Amino acid sequence: MVRGARCAPGAGTDVNATTPEGSASAARIPRHLAIVMDGNGRWAEQRHRPRSFGHRAGQKAVREAVEFCLRQRIEALTLFAFSSENWRRPQDEVGALMELFLKALDKETDELHGHGVRVRFVGDLTAFAEPLRQRMQAAMAKTAGNTALALNVCVNYGGRWDIAQAARRAAEAVARGELTADAIDERTLAPYLSLADLPPPDLFIRTGGEHRISNFLLWQIAYAELYFTDTLWPDVDQACLQRALDDYAGRQRRYGRTGAQVAQAS
Ligand code: FPP
């Protein structure tokens, strides 16, 4: 795929004709999709515009992704919107992103609610300014009962932070006498991690051409299928996402077993 090019739908990727019931990959729709939305800055630079222009364009692609998941009846969509490392960016870019999140919350919450989307902000929210934090809490409270799609927006999030906060909360449970230290294992630690109430991501997508995890959902993606595309995030549309799903549908997930064992079991 040409870097920066809009994803052209290929044969069999007519998103309007592809439904969970109707597509060849009906049985292989991921329950949970996780996306690193990379490439906003380069998209803007290619147009000789400030990076914030790319982030604003990225917001449209977020809408496309939400619509796509609703249409495909994917249960959960988790987006990496702002990493714990993104504070290191130039101050004006960080400021523009905060402004964008604030405006997006004001503009999009009612519509998401209308579509039955449950919105959650995941990460260390204490770092955000009070008005933004209040809007995040209000959006979460308003949409808490929705079930059409769980939309998780990771902000000031890092996978290592997540594992550390889970370990801290488990240690607190030990201190309260609710857990013993020798009982701590993968099964007992898992409930303390973010998104513990959801199935783990089946498919991890990173746009923008880099082949990195960048400290996103380290624990939760242990068995996710990874998909990388050169398409810059603002150029991502539903056809592009459908390509990722089609690719996923052709994968064999083995979870440590052999291919022959998996083939025999299915
Ligand atoms: C990475 O691209 C993108 C971000 C750090 C911000 C993501 C934010 C949005 C898509 C805005 C809308 C989001 C919501 C949830 C309202 P980059 O800036 O690292 O791009 P580059 O690699 O080309 O520099």
In 3D space, the residue among 210, 190, 108, 191 whose CA is nearest the CA of residue 151 turns out to be 108
Which stretch of 136-140, 148-152, 257-261 has the lowest confidence by average pLDDT?
257-261
Write the residue with the smallest CA distance to atom 3 of ligand 1: 38
- pLDDT tens for 13-54 read 333 333 333 343 445 899 999 999 999 999 999 999 999 999
If one residue of 55, 56, 97 were mutated to test the ligand 1 pocket, choosing by the most ligand atoms within 8 A of its CB, it would be 55
- Using most ligand atoms within 8 A of CB, pick from 3, 36, 40 the residue to mutate for ligand 1: 40
Q: Report how far residue 171's alpha carbon sits from residue 127's, in angstroms, rounded to the nearest whole number.
A: 23
For the residues 109-134, what does the mean pLDDT come to? 96
The pLDDT confidence band at residue 256, using thresholds 50, 70 and 90, is confident
Structure confidence by residue, pLDDT tens digits, 67-117 = 999 999 999 999 999 999 999 999 999 999 999 999 999 999 999 999 999
- pLDDT for position 16: 33
| Interatomic CA distance for residues 64 and 61, integer angstroms | 5
Q: What per-residue confidence (pLDDT) applies to 266?
A: 76
Least confident of 24-33, 101-110, 149-158, 166-175: 24-33
CA pair distance 143, 21, nearest whole angstrom: 27
Whether the CB of 59 sits within 6 Å of ligand 1: yes
Q: Is 124 a catalytic residue?
A: no
Backbone φ and ψ of 204, nearest 5°: -110, 125
Considering only CA atoms, which of 58, 68, 65 is closest in space to residue 104? Answer: 58
Instruction: Give the pLDDT confidence score for residue 263 in this predicted structure.
Output: 85
For ligand 1, atom 5, the nearest C-alpha belongs to 82
Residue 215 annotated to the active site: no
Choice among 86, 124, 215, 247 that is catalytic: 86
Query: Pairing mode, if any, of strands 32-36 and 76-83?
Result: parallel
Q: What is the pLDDT of residue 174?
A: 98
The type of residue at 36 is V
The pLDDT of residue 252: 87
d(CA 189, CA 152): 21
Architecture of domain 2-14+28-250: 3-Layer(aba) Sandwich (3.40)
- Indicate the angle between helix axes 51-72 and 238-249, nearest 10 degrees: 50
Helix (H, G, I), strand (E, B) or coil at 209: coil
